[in-house]
A and B are shown apart, each in its own frame.
Chain A
Amino acid sequence: MQYLSASSTAGILLDLAGAAILLLAFACLASKLFNRYVVYYGAQSVVLAFAAGTSAAAFHSVELWILAALTLVIKGVAIPVAARRVLIARLAVKRDAAMSTGLSTSLLAGGALTAFAYLVTRPALLPHGTAAAAVVPLSTAVILLGALAMVVRRHTVAQLIGWLIVENGVFLGAITLVATFPFIVEAGIFLDIVAGVLIMVVFVSGITRQLAEASAAELRELRG
């Protein structure tokens, strides 16, 4: 397995991209309006595509270039546009992305989770001086923030995008070590995400038709 050193240009770029992705995850967590939430997710995916491109250039990997392009097109453009067009416009989803906790509470929780991610992944887990050692704590934090977004957001579409943020975090971790995942697996993960989004959208529109508003807060018939 090859490593990127943290002080190489690619390593620095990856580190910066990781930091930007974390910030955008915070932006998603904090945005009040649905439009913004979706836009921040799209921006995060674009930065992720940039990171994948950096990694591809450093390792001269054609497969990573393909993944970078797929990330840009599907996650960066297609999903956000579709989320806005189809879900928000056609299903008349409310513009306000409701949360079950206050904004400050969820941001505090996000900060705590980020600290926790560093606590868990920092000490002696990874070889020193590699880009991975810098990026893996960031990607772990993004995973936790995405999960937090899924928990605090009430809307089904917002929960779906929370899951996609989690996936972005995993992907960021995966691209820092190039040989980690063979291309078939990476492509399979991608296919899973696309299929997952499609099937979730089917459920969301079904729920929307039944409940007039696809808010998970209304989903409380099944208990115990």
Chain B
Amino acid sequence: MTALAIAIALAPLAGPAAALAGARARAAGAAQAVGAAAALGCAIALLVLLNGHPPLRGWDGFLYADPLSGFFLLTVSGVTLLAALGSVSYIAAQEDGGELTSFQARVYFGFFGLFAALMLASLETGNLGLLFVLVEASTLASAALVGLEGRARSLEAAWKYVIISSLGVTIALAGTLFLFYSASALHPGSNLALTWPYLLAHAQALAPQSLRLAFLLAVVGYGTKVGLAPMHTWLPDAHAEAPSPASAMLSAALLNTGMYAIIRFLAIAHARLGGTYPRAVLLSFGFASIVIGALFMVRKGNFKRLFAYSSVEHMGIIAVALGFGGTLGLYGALLQVLNHALAKAVLFLAGGDVSLRFKTREATSVSGLLAAVPLTGGALLLASFAVLGSPPFGVFLSELTIVRAGFARGSPAFPLLLLALLGLAFFAFARTTTAMVTGAPPSTTADPAITARNHAVITAIPIVLGLAALLVLGLWIPAGLDSVLRHSAAVIG
């Protein structure tokens, strides 16, 4: 099992290795995709071995994996595979078109693989200090992706991203410090004692006041990475300016990694402080994010910003679901993590294809996608309805679960508010995307069907894969996944 865990974190480095060896975008992308597929395979194998068995521990607690880690490993490595496949066509097209130099393409794959590897590694550690180190390192690796294009706008976005996220994660480190202080009564003597499983097992001996502060700092700190309002300000810029497959990685993998860190702190806080305090914190940040996300989606403009604000909204929904708590709420939150990741990856990849063909990221300049490029247009339409929670896709199922969990908690006010906000988000988001998909294609564009014809097949693969997975999850949750979700929810308590 240890070998599997190591393989998961190392496999995505195939892309950087190829890039270092001087491969062009297509070859480096293929290596990246193979590496990501290997990571996904290992993650599934690890999950099968972990499910219902004692967690994997090793190296003085630095290595730790339970079903919750396994579930996030599955999500992140799956997204990495989709984004790597998407990168092959997107970056190769940009390299062929002269928009990126071959050096930039190599830098892209160098940091893409590093970013994925660091995120996967951060999901496998039990030491909360090391968790910080890996999350911060993944921030830095992804900042290089955001600033890749080197224009004034992308540098501005990268600067905002790196400075806000670094500060945020440093605040999470202060939270980790206070968590360790709260454990002073335990007189822990070794590294093992400062790991998550030990702290959870000895939660009753933690000092409550210091733990409260630790939990709040962790939610604010890692919440910056998750994109919870009001710490979300870096998110729309970074998502809009990064190359589209990198945006998919940010939205569908990075935000979830931050959420994973919050869940670890939540488990300890819940065990010691009971439900009231963590619930208040998570519901406040969650609803703030949903409101901000939904309101900013109303404006028409850059469609990648629209997708980004939808991510803010969905991270808010997940935080609210964690706040509702109970088995149902936690189950819904985790299912939402997976479904949102798939839907958002498909949206950004389809959006990337649109921006390649139309040479614009403005929603108002795009129309008639269904007529011009049926596959991308259709995928964009289906994925937007999927992300908004329409049946028969997976997000519908998870949001239904979350609302049910809210009603099960007693007060109907919160789930009703959630439903109203989801309605607003639906209107705001669908208004823009349906206008992009329907109508006649703009005549000014230089025949969008031809521009990227060489990449049609490879572009379609990740989009179709993602949509298929999303549809399956909406109709049927495999028994294995169901049991993983139940075991993970039990970890949180």
Does B399 belong to the interface (CB within 8 Å)? no
Asked whether, in the complex, the Cβ of B129 is within 8 Å of the Cβ of A132, the reply is no
Bound Cα distance from A116 to B342, whole angstroms: 43
A224 in contact with B133 given A132-B181, A189-B173, A196-B140 (CB within 8 Å): no
Binds B, one of A23-31, A38-46, A99-107, A199-207: A199-207
| Majority-rule SS of A interface residues | helix
B interface residue count range (under 10 / 10 to 19 / 20 to 34 / 35 or more): 35 or more
Bound Cα distance from A102 to B401, whole angstroms: 51
Which residues of B sit under 8 angstroms from A169, Cβ to Cβ? 174
Asked whether, in the complex, the Cβ of A222 is within 8 Å of the Cβ of B170, the reply is no
Does B310 belong to the interface (CB within 8 Å)? no
A150 in contact with B129 given A1-B184, A203-B158, A222-B153 (CB within 8 Å): no
**Interface residues in chain B, defined as those with a beta carbon under 8 Å from any beta carbon in chain A:** 60, 62, 127, 129-130, 132-134, 136-137, 140, 143-144, 147, 150-153, 155-160, 162-163, 166-167, 170-171, 173-174, 177-178, 180-181, 183-191, 194, 207, 209-210, 213, 236-237, 240-241, 296, 299, 301, 305
> What 1/0 mask marks residues of chain A from 201 to 224 whose CB sits below 8 Å from any chain B CB?
011101100110000100101101
Asked whether, in the complex, the Cβ of A174 is within 8 Å of the Cβ of B157, the reply is no
> What 1/0 mask marks residues of chain A from 181 to 205 whose CB sits below 8 Å from any chain B CB?
1101100110110011001101110
Asked whether, in the complex, the Cβ of A1 is within 8 Å of the Cβ of B189, the reply is yes
Which residues of A sit under 8 angstroms from B240, Cβ to Cβ? 222
Does A57 belong to the interface (CB within 8 Å)? no
Binds B, one of A68-76, A89-97, A119-127: A119-127
A203 in contact with B155 given A163-B163, A179-B188, A196-B162 (CB within 8 Å): yes
Does A167 belong to the interface (CB within 8 Å)? yes
Asked whether, in the complex, the Cβ of B191 is within 8 Å of the Cβ of A221, the reply is no
- Listed A/B pairs (28) with beta-carbon separation below 8 Å: A121-B213, A125-B207, A125-B209, A126-B210, A143-B174, A163-B163, A163-B167, A179-B189, A180-B181, A182-B60, A184-B62, A185-B132, A188-B130, A189-B132, A195-B137, A196-B136, A199-B144, A199-B162, A200-B162, A204-B159, A206-B147, A207-B156, A216-B159, A219-B156, A219-B159, A222-B156, A222-B157, A222-B236
Asked whether, in the complex, the Cβ of B180 is within 8 Å of the Cβ of A180, the reply is yes
Q: Which of B140, B155, B296 has the most CB of A within 10 A?
A: B155
Bound Cα distance from A166 to B296, whole angstroms: 31
Bound Cα distance from A188 to B170, whole angstroms: 13
Asked whether, in the complex, the Cβ of A125 is within 8 Å of the Cβ of B210, the reply is yes
Which residues of A sit under 8 angstroms from B180, Cβ to Cβ? 177, 180-181
Asked whether, in the complex, the Cβ of B187 is within 8 Å of the Cβ of A1, the reply is yes
Does A156 belong to the interface (CB within 8 Å)? yes
B133 contacts which of A123, A124, A126, A192 (Cβ < 8 Å)? A192
CB of B289, distance to nearest CB on chain A (Å): 16
CB of A156, distance to nearest CB on chain B (Å): 6
Which residues of A sit under 8 angstroms from B173, Cβ to Cβ? 170, 189
Which residues of A sit under 8 angstroms from B237, Cβ to Cβ? 222
Which residues of B sit under 8 angstroms from A58, Cβ to Cβ? none
Asked whether, in the complex, the Cβ of B209 is within 8 Å of the Cβ of A123, the reply is yes
Asked whether, in the complex, the Cβ of A192 is within 8 Å of the Cβ of B140, the reply is yes
Asked whether, in the complex, the Cβ of A170 is within 8 Å of the Cβ of B166, the reply is no
Does A17 belong to the interface (CB within 8 Å)? no
A174 contacts which of B162, B177, B189 (Cβ < 8 Å)? B177
Closest 6 CB pairs of A and B: A188-B133, A185-B129, A222-B237, A210-B152, A182-B191, A192-B136
The residue in chain A whose Cβ has the minimal distance to the Cβ of B59 is: A184
Bound Cα distance from A221 to B134, whole angstroms: 31
The residue in chain A whose Cβ has the minimal distance to the Cβ of B144 is: A199
CB of B199, distance to nearest CB on chain A (Å): 13
Asked whether, in the complex, the Cβ of A200 is within 8 Å of the Cβ of B157, the reply is no
Bound Cα distance from A1 to B186, whole angstroms: 8
A181 in contact with B184 given A160-B163, A167-B170, A203-B159 (CB within 8 Å): no
Which residues of B sit under 8 angstroms from A180, Cβ to Cβ? 177, 180-181, 194
A170 in contact with B144 given A147-B167, A189-B132 (CB within 8 Å): no
CB of B164, distance to nearest CB on chain A (Å): 9
The residue in chain B whose Cβ has the minimal distance to the Cβ of A183 is: B191
CB of A45, distance to nearest CB on chain B (Å): 16
Which residues of A sit under 8 angstroms from B181, Cβ to Cβ? 125-126, 132, 136, 177, 180
